[in-house]
A and B are shown apart, each in its own frame.
Chain A
Amino acid sequence: MAMTMTEKILARHAGRDRVEPGDNIWVTADVLMTHDVCGPGTIGVFNEHFGPEAKVWDRQGVVIIPDHYIFTEDEKARRNVDILREFVKAQDLPYFYDPGTRSYRGVCHVALPHEGHARPGEVLFGTDSHTCTHGAFGEFATGIGNTDAGLVMGTGKLWVKVPPTMRFVFEGELPPYLMAKDLILHVIGDIGVDGATYRAIEFAGDTVRALSIDERMTLCNMAIEAGGKNGIIAADDKTRAYVADRTSVSGTKTEYEEATNDPDAKFLSEKTYRTAQLEPVVAQPHSPDRKSRVRDVAGTRISRVYIGSCTGGKIADFIAAAQILDGRKVEVETFIVPATVHVDEALDSEKVNGRSLRDIFADAECQIGPPSCAACLGGPPDTFGRTHSNEVVVSTTNRNFPARMGSKDSAVYLASPLTAAASALHGVLTDPRDEM
């Protein structure tokens, strides 16, 4: 019986020779990731059900990356990080990236692979819906709640329903004015915010194979915005090189077993895009599936640009934005939020036209904030870049639900870093082709 990548990974982790979509199976986790918003609740569930003396199922398997509410005076938010610290100490956990110390990293989904916790063929559960990002490394990765995470923490096991796979193939060279963000906004626009509910989404084709690791992560990151259980991309030499580098630098587990689609694996659907025929797009307020070509909404007045998050705050995202902003000045307030400390460092080390990204952004009069989730999800009132009234934002983040970035009166257009930067220059939605 032929299986897809996702089915094969799940079968292996359930100790079975085969599984089929719809099967409810218990699988063993390789990694459980949590953060400051859902970690305290997860720890609460773990303590309640396994007792105060209980130990986590695998010290090496628990990865705790505080990232949501870091640079805030909110006392309850700070208390939540203290709860994590206490737990890490009591359990003697090796993988904790503590804010305010040299081990702080920033946004969990960008930090996790960089710290060597993403490997092909593995099962990763995380208490964050964007855990699907890590399918970019050829693993099964999905978001869960506190109760499920508490169970994983104590037993290393969780039941899952095996999802059927929707396959999206992108063929041909990616034009310079398009980014992975455009590709995924096309997919979500075509199938809707519930188009992949209970399903796996595989991204394939030579366009995807040519994408950088950062860009592959953007694709998988937004699988959840179509309701997907997981996004996945087959591992290749690029994946292997990245994983070998990051696991050896971090001293984490280096060995893994890859999974690939069987040649006659069955997909629920398969759709092929000719990449060169696609255009830059935005998702209009207030839903990620409200796709529009940028040229059809060009000229729409905006008041702010935000470039950051696990979706659009990686090195590749800032290089793209800097290519547009180099030597220019922004017309509306523009917030730059590197996802992690590593990305923040790259603002100095990465150059466009011989100048550092940081210099380009500073000269363009952008505001650069410290690495964290920041205003992607609103957060406490003192959060950097958070909306407080009727701002109209072009954002490289993943969600534009009502009030997502703070105020119920604000409106958010989701866009690629190229489109966001081009729009920043004019204070209106602008097709990046006009600025390249």
Chain B
Amino acid sequence: MQEIVRGRAFVLGDDVDTDQIVPACHLVYSLTDPTEKRLYGKYALSGVPMDQSGLPQGGIPFVHEGSDTSEYSIVVGGKNFGCGSSREHAPFALRQAGVEAVVAEFYARIFFRNSVNGGYLIPYETPQRLVERIKTGDEVEISMAENSLLNLTTGESFALRPLGDIRPILEAGDVFAYARQQNMIK
């Protein structure tokens, strides 16, 4: 896990559910086949209603037609990010598209767990709502050491909640690597 995550932000609203993150008709693809799994990147966030995609006026595609990765590597959300189904395909799809971190006010618990235990992305919580403070396309930088987010486009800086207990799991790589480090499994 690197100490600095830097990239362009993609902004969404509240209650972004896992059907929006990856619609159920796409859950049939292999999660291991190197070619097929790229389809998850192609369809990441494809269920978000167009008028909410990238807010505030919407209409911004997360992944361009014909591509399977996104130009945005940090997703900014509001409350209850990742609610709904338990599909691990959701954080997997975001990762496939190139997302390294999500910052949201708080998460639905299964999405949060899947993100950490599968080691797909860093789910940071924000004490302050950032949806209105960051615009899609802004260049932002997350400092893991300082638990802060700097909006390089506007110069504004925001505190992030320390990762706490999940940090060693993310640092190990995933829950298996962590459990081995801790001698919980062989």
Interface of A toward B, CB cutoff 8 Å: 24, 26, 37-38, 40-41, 44, 49, 68-69, 74, 76-77, 79-80, 127-129, 131, 143-148, 150-151, 154-155, 157, 193-194, 197-198, 224, 227, 229, 287, 377-381, 399, 401-404, 406, 408
One of A129, A197, A399, A402 near B49 (C-beta < 8 A): A402
16 inter-chain pairs at a CB distance below 8 angstroms, sorted by A residue, are A38-B86, A49-B176, A76-B29, A79-B28, A128-B86, A145-B113, A146-B118, A147-B174, A150-B176, A194-B80, A227-B108, A401-B47, A403-B19, A403-B49, A404-B24, A408-B49
One of B85, B108, B113, B117 near A194 (C-beta < 8 A): B108
One of A69, A404, A408 near B28 (C-beta < 8 A): A69
| Those of B16-62 within 8 Å (CB) of chain A | 17, 19-20, 23-25, 27-32, 47-50
Does A198 contact B87, Cβ atoms closer than 8 Å?
no
One of B79, B86, B176 near A144 (C-beta < 8 A): B86
Instruction: Say whether B15 faces chain A, with CB atoms less than 8 Å apart.
Output: yes
Does A145 contact B88, Cβ atoms closer than 8 Å?
yes
Instruction: Say whether B142 faces chain A, with CB atoms less than 8 Å apart.
Output: no
Does A401 contact B88, Cβ atoms closer than 8 Å?
no
Does B24 contact A377, Cβ atoms closer than 8 Å?
yes
The minimal Cβ–Cβ distance linking A157 to chain B, given in whole angstroms, is: 8
The minimal Cβ–Cβ distance linking A124 to chain B, given in whole angstroms, is: 13
Does A287 contact B114, Cβ atoms closer than 8 Å?
no
Main secondary structure of the interface of B (DSSP, over half): loop
Does A193 contact B86, Cβ atoms closer than 8 Å?
no
The minimal Cβ–Cβ distance linking B61 to chain A, given in whole angstroms, is: 14
Does A145 contact B117, Cβ atoms closer than 8 Å?
yes
The minimal Cβ–Cβ distance linking B166 to chain A, given in whole angstroms, is: 10
Q: For residue B32, which residues in chain A have a CB less than 8 angstroms away from its CB?
A: 44
Alpha-carbon distance A204/B4, docked complex (angstroms): 49
CB within 8 Å: A-B pair count: 129
Does B84 contact A129, Cβ atoms closer than 8 Å?
yes
Alpha-carbon distance A74/B79, docked complex (angstroms): 35
Interface residues of B toward A: which range? 35 or more
Instruction: Say whether B83 faces chain A, with CB atoms less than 8 Å apart.
Output: yes
Does B118 contact A403, Cβ atoms closer than 8 Å?
no
Instruction: Say whether B185 faces chain A, with CB atoms less than 8 Å apart.
Output: yes
Does A40 contact B174, Cβ atoms closer than 8 Å?
no
Q: For residue B184, which residues in chain A have a CB less than 8 angstroms away from its CB?
A: 26, 157
Alpha-carbon distance A79/B30, docked complex (angstroms): 10
One of A49, A79, A147, A155 near B114 (C-beta < 8 A): A147
Instruction: Say whether B124 faces chain A, with CB atoms less than 8 Å apart.
Output: no
Q: Given the interface contacts A69-B28, A402-B47, does A197 sit within 8 Å of B87 by beta carbon? A: no
One of B80, B108, B165, B185 near A154 (C-beta < 8 A): B185
Q: Given the interface contacts A76-B29, A145-B88, does A401 sit within 8 Å of B108 by beta carbon? A: no
Does B17 contact A148, Cβ atoms closer than 8 Å?
no
| Those of B76-105 within 8 Å (CB) of chain A | 79-80, 83-89
One of B88, B109, B110 near A41 (C-beta < 8 A): B88
Alpha-carbon distance A127/B88, docked complex (angstroms): 9
Instruction: Say whether B140 faces chain A, with CB atoms less than 8 Å apart.
Output: no
Alpha-carbon distance A379/B109, docked complex (angstroms): 24
Does A145 contact B87, Cβ atoms closer than 8 Å?
yes
Does A399 contact B84, Cβ atoms closer than 8 Å?
yes
Instruction: Say whether B179 faces chain A, with CB atoms less than 8 Å apart.
Output: yes
Q: For residue B31, which residues in chain A have a CB less than 8 angstroms away from its CB?
A: 40-41, 44, 146
Q: For residue A69, which residues in chain B have a CB less than 8 angstroms away from its CB?
A: 28
Instruction: Say whether B175 faces chain A, with CB atoms less than 8 Å apart.
Output: yes
CB closest residue in chain A, given B180: A49
The minimal Cβ–Cβ distance linking B30 to chain A, given in whole angstroms, is: 8
CB closest residue in chain A, given B48: A402
Alpha-carbon distance A234/B14, docked complex (angstroms): 34
Instruction: Say whether B106 faces chain A, with CB atoms less than 8 Å apart.
Output: yes
Q: For residue B20, which residues in chain A have a CB less than 8 angstroms away from its CB?
A: 401-403
Q: For residue A194, which residues in chain B have a CB less than 8 angstroms away from its CB?
A: 15, 79-80, 83, 106, 108
One of A41, A80, A227 near B80 (C-beta < 8 A): A227
Does A381 contact B25, Cβ atoms closer than 8 Å?
yes
Q: Given the interface contacts A38-B88, A129-B85, A145-B87, does A378 sit within 8 Å of B28 by beta carbon? A: no
Q: For residue B106, which residues in chain A have a CB less than 8 angstroms away from its CB?
A: 194, 197
For the complex of A and B, list the 3 residue pairs with the smallest distance between their C-beta atoms, beginning with the closest: A145-B88, A145-B114, A76-B28
Extra A-B contacts (4), CB below 8 Å, given A377-B85, A378-B23: A24-B165, A146-B88, A197-B109, A403-B23
Does A197 contact B108, Cβ atoms closer than 8 Å?
yes
Alpha-carbon distance A380/B28, docked complex (angstroms): 9
Alpha-carbon distance A380/B79, docked complex (angstroms): 30
Q: For residue A41, which residues in chain B have a CB less than 8 angstroms away from its CB?
A: 31, 88-89
Does A378 contact B25, Cβ atoms closer than 8 Å?
yes
The minimal Cβ–Cβ distance linking A327 to chain B, given in whole angstroms, is: 37
Does A197 contact B89, Cβ atoms closer than 8 Å?
no
The minimal Cβ–Cβ distance linking B82 to chain A, given in whole angstroms, is: 10
CB closest residue in chain A, given B108: A227
Q: For residue A287, which residues in chain B have a CB less than 8 angstroms away from its CB?
A: 15
CB closest residue in chain B, given A26: B184
CB closest residue in chain B, given A286: B49
One of B25, B83, B108, B175 near A148 (C-beta < 8 A): B175
Q: For residue A80, which residues in chain B have a CB less than 8 angstroms away from its CB?
A: 28
Alpha-carbon distance A319/B176, docked complex (angstroms): 47
Q: Given the interface contacts A26-B184, A143-B110, A403-B47, does A379 sit within 8 Å of B88 by beta carbon? A: no
Alpha-carbon distance A404/B48, docked complex (angstroms): 11
Alpha-carbon distance A128/B176, docked complex (angstroms): 21
One of A129, A157, A408 near B86 (C-beta < 8 A): A129
Q: For residue B174, which residues in chain A have a CB less than 8 angstroms away from its CB?
A: 147
